[in-house]
Amino acid sequence: MRSRYSAFVLRDADYLLATWHPDTRPATLDLDENPPPKWLGLEVKRHEVQDASHATVEFVARYKVNGRAQRLAECSRFERIGDRWYYLDGRIEP
């Protein structure tokens, strides 16, 4: 989760796509928002391992756009394939 947050901060679409589960991965990812968000931090609220191949991570990412504070709260699902964990999908939290 932390590496994916860092990839958003660095606008590294290649890394994000490489760590996205093949069943849910988009064909492309455009991170060229204008103006770009200024990422302020990531707080992992909790993580839970369901079994050897499935886990969830609940987090809050804070950022600003045009000086206005925003937050993204999500509960993300991950699946392990081989030796690597992949982002499967997420549910936006209120």
Mean pLDDT over 2-14 rounds to: 96
**pLDDT computed for residue 73 by the predictor:** 98
18 band by pLDDT with thresholds 50, 70 and 90: very high
Query: What stretches of the chain show up as alpha helix (H) in DSSP?
Result: 2-10, 13-18
**pLDDT computed for residue 55 by the predictor:** 98
Q: What is the pLDDT of residues 38-58, one digit of tens each?
A: 999 999 999 999 999 999 999
pLDDT at 28 over 90: yes
Domains of the chain: 2-92 (3.10.450.50)
